[in-house]
Structure 1
Amino acid sequence: MEFDKLVHQPTRLQLFAHLYANGETSFSALTDDLEITEGNLASHIGKMEEADCVAVNKQFVDGSPQTTYRLTEHGEDLFEAHVQTLEELIDGLDS
């Protein structure tokens, strides 16, 4: 049983799960909700974006910049596959 290292890393797993459950989310909401630093978030989001797992939307709202993130279809597929792998691991414990 292999885990995808991109998804399995603890902070990124939290990001995948949060975005999967909540949809498009702002940068500030992610730092607040997950209690991670801006630099840490930027680093992990960058890796996810490079792997085509997250889409980034930058816009101005009332004259202020706002960045939001959402999982791409590929990101959703990777997260679902990871959850499936975890479920199979748990099911194997019953044997």
Structure 2
Amino acid sequence: MELDKLVHQPTRLQIFTHLYANGETTFSALASALDLTEGNLASHIERMEDADCVTVEKTFVDRKPRTTYELTDRGEALFESHIESLESLIDQIDSDDGSA
């Protein structure tokens, strides 16, 4: 079984997990919640956006720029598939050691 490298990469897995659990999130809230630098977050978000896994919305609120992110249907499906793959691996380990 091969894991999807887009989702499995540790920082992106954190981003996928946060967006899946919390829905639409601002750039600053996401960077703060995951303790990421702005540059690191931006590069990972760009990769996810290029893969059609996240939508990026830029607006102005009280004349200040506000960027929000949300998983696309494809992003949610990839994340759910990744979790299923991990659960399957765990099940295989449990079956192999006789503890299941």
Short-chain TM bin: over 0.9
Write the distance in 1 (CA, Å) between the matches of 2:26 and 2:7: 20
Q: 1:46 aligns to what? A: 46
Q: 1:4 aligns to what? A: 4
Q: Which has the higher contact order (CA 8 A, sep 6+)?
A: 1
Q: 2:78 aligns to what? A: 78
Q: 1:57 aligns to what? A: 57
Give the AA of the match of 2:80.
E
Identity of aligned residues (%): 69
Q: 1:18 aligns to what? A: 18
1:70, distance to aligned residue in structure 2 (A): 0.2
- Name stretches of at least 5 consecutive residues in structure 2 with no aligned partner: 96-100
Give the secondary-structure state (helix, strand or coil) at the position aligned to 1:94: helix
Regions of 4+ moved over 6 Å: none
Write the distance in 2 (CA, Å) between the matches of 1:93 and 1:49: 34
Give the secondary-structure state (helix, strand or coil) at the position aligned to 1:21: helix
Q: TM-score, length-normalised on structure 1?
A: 0.99
- Name stretches of at least 5 consecutive residues in structure 1 with no aligned partner: none
Give the AA of the match of 1:47.
R
Give the AA of the match of 1:38.
E
Number of corresponding residues: 95
